[in-house]
């Protein structure tokens, strides 16, 4: 690769980062939190005043749910279909003896809408602190029976039941059944 084409690629990566961030509706602060790259560094990159190192490029690509190759790609074409394979361990958000949470949404969409599969063992719980103000969660019970708690209210739910509730207050899913419970959960940040 010639020096001028290397500079072209660098410039294109900087522009692409800005475009992807704007298309996602993210501020520099949101991208900074998602990537672990400082806001000031991201600002310099987007203004083409800094050349991101490989480590920084990997962090930014990961925040958008992309590989470095996809981020650097000059075609501007993002795939029309994004597949998350059932055996893809990179999408396991949490896994312990009580609860397993697998992210089902592309990682680049997180912070606006998140989609999860939650598996709870008998007696297992998923307790959450309040999310950002205005956040709501929607769930459908695929298998088993759970108790949904949101602030001071609670409701039993069985297979096929759906519910929506405030998630900007303490909330929880508790498996009250004798077998594994599977819940599909959508989190929407306002």
pLDDT tens per residue across span 127-184: 999 998 899 999 999 999 999 999 999 999 999 999 999 999 999 999 999 999 999 9
* 117 plus 67 within the same structural domain: no
In terms of pTM, does the model score above 0.75? no
What percent of the chain has pLDDT above 90? 51
* 101 plus 67 within the same structural domain: no
Q: What's the pLDDT score for residue 111?
A: 56
Tell me which of 72, 103, 121 is where a domain ends: 72
* 95 plus 166 within the same structural domain: yes
* 103 plus 180 within the same structural domain: yes
Domain that holds residue 175: 89-188
Q: Is the pLDDT of residue 45 over 60?
A: yes
Query: Which residues fall within 8 angstroms of residue 101, CB to CB, at 6 or more apart?
Result: 92, 93, 94, 95, 116, 117, 118, 119, 126
């Amino acid at each position: 690769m010639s020096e001028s084409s290397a500079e072209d690629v660098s410039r294109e990566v900087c522009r692409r980062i800005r475009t992807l961030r704007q298309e996602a509706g993210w501020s520099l602060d949101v991208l900074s939190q998602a990537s672990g790259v400082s806001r000031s560094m991201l600002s310099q990159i987007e203004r083409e005043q800094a050349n991101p190192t490989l480590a920084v490029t990997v962090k930014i690509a990961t925040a958008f749910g992309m590989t470095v190759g996809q981020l650097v790609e000059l075609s501007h074409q993002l795939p029309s279909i994004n597949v998350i394979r059932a055996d893809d361990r990179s999408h396991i958000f949490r896994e312990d003896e009580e609860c397993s949470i697998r992210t089902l949404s592309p990682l680049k969409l997180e912070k606006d809408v998140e989609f999860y599969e939650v598996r709870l063992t008998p007696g297992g719980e998923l307790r959450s602190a309040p999310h950002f103000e205005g956040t709501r969660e929607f769930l459908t019970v695929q298998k088993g029976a759970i108790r949904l708690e949101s602030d001071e209210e609670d409701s039993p739910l069985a297979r096929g039941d759906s519910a929506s509730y405030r998630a900007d207050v303490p909330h929880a899913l508790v498996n009250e059944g004798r077998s594994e419970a599977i819940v599909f959960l959508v989190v929407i940040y306002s």
